[in-house]
Amino acid sequence: MTIEAGQPLAGQPTSARQAGPKRPLGGLGRAALGRAGRAALLATDRPPVPDALEPLVQAHRRHHPQADLGLLGRAYRLAEASHRGQKRKSGEPYITHPLAVTMILAQLGAGTTTLVASLLHDTVEDTELTLDQVSEGFGPEVAYLVDGVTKLEKVDFGAAAEAETFRKMLVATGDDVRVMVVKLADRLHNMRTIRHMKPASQVRIAKVTRDVLIPLAERLGIQVLKAELEDIVFATLHPEEYARARALVAGHEAEPDALLAPFARTLARQLAETGVAAEVTVRPRHLVSLHRVLLKRAAARGRDGRPQGAQPADFGRLLVVVEENADCYAVLGELHTCWTPLPGEFKDFVAAPKFNLYQSLHTAVALDGGAVVEVLVRTRRMHEVAETGVVALGDPKQPGAAAVGGGPSAAGASGAGAGAGSDELDRTDPARPGWLSRLLEWQQETPDPDAFWSALTADLAGDREITVVTETGETLQLRAGASCVDAAYLLGEETGHRCIGARVNGRLTALSTVLQDGDLLAVLTENGPRAAEPSGPAPEWLAHARTPAARLAIERWLAGHPTRLPVVRTGPSAGQPAPPAHRVAERGTAPVAVEGRPGAPVRLARCCTPVPPDEVSGFPIRGGAVAVHRTGCPAGERMRAAGRGVLEIHWQPGGTPASGYRVTLRAEALNRPRLLADLTAAISGEGVGIVSAEVEPPQELRVRHTYTVELPEPAVLPAVMRAMLRVSGVYDVSRPHAPEGGGAVRAPARAPESARAREAGNKDDPPAPGVRPSWGMHGRSAALTGHTSPSATRGPEG
């Protein structure tokens, strides 16, 4: 909707809020006497404001009947005197610009303080008037707003002046959202007169408006201002497409409306019959909105295989305005009962408002002829806020304003919607929205103007935000397309640095997973004392980070922690003796005794790495040797099925192979930096030597480490497995080829065994096609819960 002088905005209060019927003089109260006194003053020959302000005063009184007009008059006189002699590029006196900006704000319903600041917003920047003089004449509140929109000098900041000016405005907006409201109105009037600029300047200003100002207007919910800015930018940057869209609209308006208007009348009659008081109107689309619809039509193929053209229903939507929230759902019920609703087109922004306070019910129904009509349903208060956003909530610093969400006012005492502190909007802090808080946080960490500008435009590029709820009940507001990495850093930089994984809707998932609106999220962090340095992010996280705060935190960490190659230790370091509890047995004693074959060579199978007190079976192999497999090992079962005789064997107390007991252990973990180093350190810390280590490529940020270790004695094995499980990120430790029924919980299915693992087995054993699913120590991860399950103490054999 174009805002023009003297034209009230749709859905805004009009003369209905002005004085009611006259009463006898003796019955006038104090407020009525005040109004009568002001009316008498206006009737005198000395008007309180200059004639140039009369249209502005009329627009302002529609929203604020008791406004201080004398303050407006003083501000205008000072602005006119300060700008006297200055001209705009159009040749008009410069005072026409602050007057037009103030008229835009008056039509939006801004308070008197905002209008005074708007009249003076260019005086400090372009005239000899100082900020101290503004503060002395109109108070520190007006001076703060004027200072917030005053540009920084290029002489002082050079090419960085524009970026630093926006940084300054954002910081000021964090304390008073009206700073950005004044700036948006200022940009709207400048865009209306952009034709007087040079072509290069037109393109530059239009791009900045597109990339920064329009997204800010969207986030503040000022839709009427955003729509006009979009159309002017569209005409400036894409004149041919703009002309085609304009011609389509002109052709549609020249023909009688045979679809939307008749359907609006039918719906109004239907609602009247059911007793729902509603106002049904046709809401035309602005040109950019129509252009987007046409692009979708062109991309979709019709039944004949050709791109679809514009349909009559594409030029507008039906708007239904009711009185109460319950009436919204009553209208929805009638729509879906009398016409066919389209699946997937219903959106409830009444129960779940958008981040910019927008509330409405959206639906689409198919009419008898097959045409699809979109319908919006909202209350009058919702419509007011949907059109003008935070402006409809009033001046946030008004002392008599109703609170919204415990923050600034919902509306000033004299503003529209006064006393609405308990309505459906009382769930948001309009002066410090979540998106603005995030901008203010990361801009402090971005001193470089170019980096700040790039991050600002990237952050504002998202068309919408999503809401994610943590398993602890915390609500996170993220831009659409954000990943688990972004959510982790939104919870705090320390949480992000310690993040090792995520659980979305109850399932472990990769940190790169893109979150959807309404997801239930748990960020998994490494254990250990908070004072210890966290593992930190991997460089790959930058590819998954979508928010500037996350990217800046990751880049800062990586800059301070250059990549270090993990150091693999294969036993106790020099000067570090093995734990005293570990008694190293004499080497070279036969580990098992074979019934009926005394002195036969014994080979412990490398596929299942049996260790006392595992249940084992012996099979004769070439050369008279005996292969020892754990009971239930697939390789041993295949030898049994092939007819190899099973020999009775038992472990010999104190027996130890010449090369020691070698055991293969497999750790399932969430991938993170220095995981290999931490696992090898945990194994070596138990006095165990590492014979070999294999790390498989990560799959969705999950990784599998396989170690072959040499035990000083068999009793050390449970302690080694528990030490590995305590490493941050490790959620399961298992021994491949565990026996049937052994182990507490079955781990997820494993990938086929690698060639290296197959070669490690006995050469005489039949080749195995793959590795069976492993059996872990227990089902719950000590790394994620902070404690070890009692089943862990029983060892892998239960």
Residues tagged active-site = 125-126
Q: Of 181, 169, 50, 22, nearest to 109 (Cα)?
A: 181
Nearest CA to 479 among 468, 488, 466?
466
Instruction: Characterize 395-418 residue by residue with b for buried, 16 or more Cβ atoms within 10 angstroms of its Cβ, and e for exposed.
Output: bbbbeebbebeebbbbbbbbbbbb
**DSSP collapsed to 3 states, 605-624:** CCCCCCCCCCCEEEEECHHH
Write the burial class of residue 252 (CB in 10 Å: 0-12 exposed, 13-18 middle, 19+ buried): middle
- Alpha carbons 98 and 3: distance in angstroms, whole number: 15
Report which residue type is found at 651.
W
Residue 158 DSSP class: G
Instruction: Specify the residue for token string 């503003």.
Output: 415
Residue 186, CA distances (Å) to 60, 119, 138, 179, 331 in order:
18, 11, 20, 11, 39
Cβ atoms of 210 and 216 closer than 8 Å: no
Distances (CA, A) of 266 to 35, 260, 282: 44, 10, 12
Give dist(CA 517, CA 31) in Å, integer: 49
Measured between alpha carbons, how far is 101 from 54 in angstroms, rounded to an integer? 15
The letter for the amino acid at 93 is P
Cis peptide bond upstream of 613, omega within 30: yes
Secondary structure of 262-324 in HEC code, one letter for each residue:
HHHHHHHHHHHHCCCCEEEEEEECCHHHHHHHHHHHHHCECCCCCECCCCHHHHEEEEEEECC
Find, among 637, 570, 571, the residue nearest to 605 by Cα: 637
